[in-house]
Amino acid sequence: MQRKPKETSVNLSVNLGGMAMKNPVTVASGTFGAGMEYHDFVDVAALGAVTTKGVSLNGWKGNASPRIAETASGMLNSIGLQNPGVQHLKDIELPWLAEIGATAMVNVSGHSFDEYVAVIEALEEAPVAAYEVNISCPNVDAGGMTMGCHVPSVEKVVSLCRAATKRPLIVKLTPNVTDITEIAKAAEAAGADGISLINTLLGMAVDARTRRPKLARVVGGYSGPAVKPVALRCVWQVCNAVKIPVIGIGGITCAQDVLEFILVGAHAVEIGTMNFVRPDAAFRIAEELPHLCQQLGIKNLAEFRGTLQL
């Protein structure tokens, strides 16, 4: 039986750079697919948005296995943006999301500047509410994080994507940089409507008995509860550096975590690793959020946002 959230009087609505969200909760790309396999159990459209798995122009096979390693307080992944390509997204997943009334944000990936643009151009006639331009994945050798670490490449890819669409453009940033505010300001100046952060931290795991790395690619993206303090710091810094909305990502496990990200300035959040712990995690958090707001006397998230007292 499908579970639907209970209604409350708390105003959870968000305008994220032009994308209207009924609540501030979406899922992190690559942790949820498009939600088709969940819909018998939860109302996928109840989320503020569904963020799709990163999509490239043509399908990518991803990295060799093993490509997942669990840690004491998180996980490492080196999936490598495996996906069937943009045509599959257009033919199958986006029409389904539109049919159930979900708001779709497409995570755009590419090996080159031209591929980012080509993906957006291929989606311009599809039911897409916003694009999340992924220039922060640490698990590919070309594109991804290599484009998100330097101001000139950030400016170029965002400018090209901006010219290709009038839809809201969210740029996803990596924490694996010296100064994340410099990168965020470059994305804003190049035309981004919003920033999402953080993508995973670069990490590794080894096995002392076999004397081998636990990931075939040796290093991978580290996520989970352990990264939350880093994510909060990055979100707070970026919210104080740019004027566009910010999506907070990293270690969110409950409604209180959501409010902490909003307290430091975030407009919305993405739930990632918790989806592997509990497939209904994002929905449970979205259900808990208005009740926690009522307990804390928060009637409108907009009035609470960015009110951290220093």
Assess whether 149 carries a catalytic annotation.
Answer: no
Q: What is the CA radius of gyration of the chain?
A: 18
For residue 54, give the nearest of 279, 277, 272 by alpha carbon.
Answer: 272
| Token pair recorded at residue 209 | 């008995």
> What DSSP string runs through 55-100?
B-SEEE--PPSP-EEEETTEEEE-----EEEHHHIIIIIHHHHHHH
**Is residue 130 helix, strand or coil?**
strand
Residue type, 66: P
User: What does the alpha-carbon distance between residue 100 and residue 94 come to, in Å, rounded to a whole number?
Assistant: 10
| Token pair recorded at residue 175 | 């924490």
Give 176-182's long-range contacts (Cβ < 8 A, gap of 24+). Answer: 176/138, 176/145, 176/149, 176/201, 176/202, 177/148, 177/149, 180/234, 180/237, 180/238, 181/237, 181/238, 181/240, 181/241, 181/242, 182/151
Catalytic residue among 137, 161, 234, 293: 137
User: What does the alpha-carbon distance between residue 271 and residue 281 come to, in Å, rounded to a whole number?
Assistant: 8
Q: How many residues in total does the chain contain?
A: 310
Q: Residue 141 gets which letter from DSSP? A: S
User: What does the alpha-carbon distance between residue 86 and residue 172 come to, in Å, rounded to a whole number?
Assistant: 19
User: What does the alpha-carbon distance between residue 51 and residue 57 come to, in Å, rounded to a whole number?
Assistant: 17
- Point out the residues that are catalytic: 137
